[in-house]
Amino acid sequence: MAVINPYYPIPTKIKEIIPETPSITTFVLDGRPIDFSAGQFAELTVPGVGEAPFTPSSSPYAEDLEFTIMKVGRVTSALFELKPGDSIGVRGPFGKPYPLDAFKKKEIFIVGGGVGFAPLRSLFLALVHNIKHYKKIYIRYGARTPQDIVYKKLIPEWQKIDKVDILLTVDRGDDSWKGKVGVITVILDEIPVNVNSAPTIVCGPPLMMKFVTQRLVEAGFKDEHIYLSMEKNMSCGIGKCNHCRVGKFYVCKDGPVLTWKDIKDIEEPFI
Ligand SMILES: Cc1cc2nc3c(=O)[nH]c(=O)nc-3n(C[C@H](O)[C@H](O)[C@H](O)COP(=O)(O)OP(=O)(O)OC[C@H]3O[C@@H](n4cnc5c(N)ncnc54)[C@H](O)[C@@H]3O)c2cc1C
Ligand code: FES
């Protein structure tokens, strides 16, 4: 049997580009160069520029593979220059999936900030695909302004799904915004799930993760039920280069999702 080189990006093309916010865009790839389960990530290569890790934002059950990406630096800026039909590379999937079997028959409490909704969207769509297994799915999402909310057209459709409850907040509102205003913790005052049994899944910028985790712990969620997406610098993606160490964990191999129980004794785990 041929040995597949894990460092070799599979060539693929961009099929569609969907602007989400002024700095966040969804890239739909042509076909499905890789399979994945919710929670796993891939390395995307821009030829001649480099590669960076991203978690798919599409459903693991969908035909297309999508990534929702914020422009922050070298690789992401080069991605934002590309057009439909342009070539990129994909390698993966890497890391461990969410333990969806352990979530069965439970309420699931998902908390996202900014572009952190991207990996959570993939998880959410995987849960909705098998919604009969789960008691109820709660999403709590915060963005800086109404303009910065990702998936603006999709959220109203998701809100109509039975057993789904979504609440949004923005740090700063505008004339069009009728919802909550304030940082993400303003919509975590009330926790509508049984904190003794519910898993809670968090993804967002480091500071948001820190304050949300504090709030979830204070609300009574069990440390082993708090699942956190760790966004460490990565290189190899397969546990060889040591770039992504958090305490004793390699985020690329043991994560990218670790529980609060795993990391709570590490000094400044979210940096
Ligand atoms: C497992 C995993 C999954 C990820 N999934 C996604 C995803 O779905 N969507 C997505 O947009 N990003 C995601 N990221 C983050 C993404 O990998 C980085 O934004 C990317 O590596 C930046 O590469 P760059 O070359 O454009 O920036 P660089 O040139 O490496 O960085 C330029 C500058 O931007 C800063 N920077 C880097 N990353 C970020 C960031 N995330 N936010 C703010 N500033 C930053 C750096 O500190 C530096 O100052 C994920 C990261 C990991 C580890
Ligand atoms: S990215 Fe190389 S060890 Fe994790």
Verify that 172 and 67 share a domain, yes or no: no
How many separate domains does the chain show? 2
pLDDT value of position 271: 73
Ligand 2 center to 118 CA (angstroms): 22
264 in any annotated domain: no
Ligand 2 center to 233 CA (angstroms): 8
Write out residues with Cβ below 6 Å of ligand 1.
Answer: 41, 52-55, 67-70, 72-76, 115, 118-119, 231-232, 234, 256
Ligand 2 center to 154 CA (angstroms): 34
pLDDT value of position 153: 93
Which residue type does 19 have? P
Verify that 191 and 162 share a domain, yes or no: yes
Q: Could you tell me which residues are beta bridge partners of residue 14?
A: 29
28 in any annotated domain: yes
From 33, 64, 94, give the residue that closes a domain.
94
Which residue type does 208 have? M
Verify that 88 and 111 share a domain, yes or no: no
Q: What is the CATH number of the domain that holds 130?
A: 3.40.50.80
From 73, 94, 115, give the residue that closes a domain.
94
Verify that 173 and 217 share a domain, yes or no: yes
pLDDT value of position 156: 96
pLDDT value of position 270: 79
The closest ligand to the CA of 244 turns out to be 2
268 in any annotated domain: no
75 in any annotated domain: yes
| 271 residues of the chain, pLDDT tens digit each | 555 787 889 999 999 999 999 999 999 999 889 999 999 999 999 999 999 999 999 999 999 999 999 999 999 999 999 999 999 999 999 999 999 999 999 999 999 999 999 999 999 999 999 999 999 999 999 999 999 999 999 999 999 999 999 999 999 999 999 999 999 999 999 999 999 999 999 999 999 999 999 999 999 999 999 999 987 778 888 888 989 988 889 999 999 999 999 999 988 887 7
58 in any annotated domain: yes
pLDDT value of position 235: 85
Instruction: Find the domain containing 187 and state its range.
Output: 100-229
